[in-house]
Amino acid sequence: MPEFQEYGWNVQHLGLTDEVLAHAELTKDPLYRKIPHDRLAYYVDRSLQRGREAAQACRGMSIRELYRREGLGYEITDRSGTFHQISLRARIDFNQTPPEVVIYAASLRGMADAYRAVMSPGEQAQRSLTPQDDELERLVDIHLAHEFFHYVEYRAAQFTNDMLEPVEVFRLGRRLVKRSSVVQCSEIAAHAFCKEMMGLPFLPNVLDYAFLIQTGSLSKEDFYREVEAWKSGHAAAL
């Protein structure tokens, strides 16, 4: 696989603020098109805020220490994380008591180049002899942090999407109205928690795009077009 740098992709100049990357996450919601334009910023901002606030409470602690304190178990496995043709990198199983987190290390291994390109361009100097291992550890921690936030939501019995106003999905006359919560809000909050907790330069969902570009599944040009759409979607919401 060619070195990521060969793609000449520099994420630093794209203006990927938390709001823009949160907007990217929101566009994945099945209800995205049902959200009134003037309410988009509400879902983005409140979700980011919840994740950041949760991270404040964990200041100065490592993510693995947090798991220990909470007695929350996690397993790092090389088993495939592919279920029904969807490849998972991490998940939390709420059917267990306490819930259990599983990190699929095999699917994280391929992301080391993407991680290096977007998350640690300044860390080159302090690289150890085994950069791949360092990056894998960081990727594991990032995914542990993401799932930990879902645990925080579960513990408080308040998932971020349920705390925010539901969106009207269907209306028949005056009486019959169906409303649903915007589930991606929980993902935005988890990304914000993870970024604060881990001191990352961007919301970690940027890694998904870096990885797709690196593997050739997404062209840089298409990505730039998407970034512009997220930015204008977010600007229109303000």
Compute φ and ψ for 57, nearest 5 degrees.
-70, -15
**Residue closer to Zn ion, measured from CB, 190 or 207:** 190
Q: Identify which range of 15-23, 100-108, 157-165, 190-198 contacts Zn ion by CB under 5 A.
A: 190-198
| Using rule CB under 5 A, residue 190 touches Zn ion | yes
* CA geometry: angle 126, 128, 131, nearest 5 deg: 110
- In the complex, least distance from residue 216 CB atom to Zn ion, rounded to whole angstroms: 26
Residue 90, token pair as written in the block: 């991490």
**Residue closer to Zn ion, measured from CB, 20 or 101:** 101
Question: What is d(CA 225, CA 218) in angstroms, rounded to the nearest whole number?
Answer: 11
Question: Token match 């950041």: residue?
Answer: 52
- In the complex, least distance from residue 178 CB atom to Zn ion, rounded to whole angstroms: 25
**Residue closer to Zn ion, measured from CB, 118 or 142:** 142
The Cβ of residue 81 has, within 10 Å, a number of other Cβ atoms equal to 19
Applying CB under 5 A, what is the total number of residues that bind Zn ion?
2
| Using rule CB under 5 A, residue 194 touches Zn ion | no
8 A C-beta contact, residue 136 and residue 108: yes
- In the complex, least distance from residue 190 CB atom to Zn ion, rounded to whole angstroms: 5
- In the complex, least distance from residue 207 CB atom to Zn ion, rounded to whole angstroms: 13
> Per CB under 5 A, which of residues 128..187 are in contact with Zn ion?
187
Question: What is d(CA 63, CA 234) in angstroms, rounded to the nearest whole number?
Answer: 31
Q: How far is CA 178 from the centre of its chain?
A: 28
Residues in touch with Zn ion (CB under 5 A): 187, 190
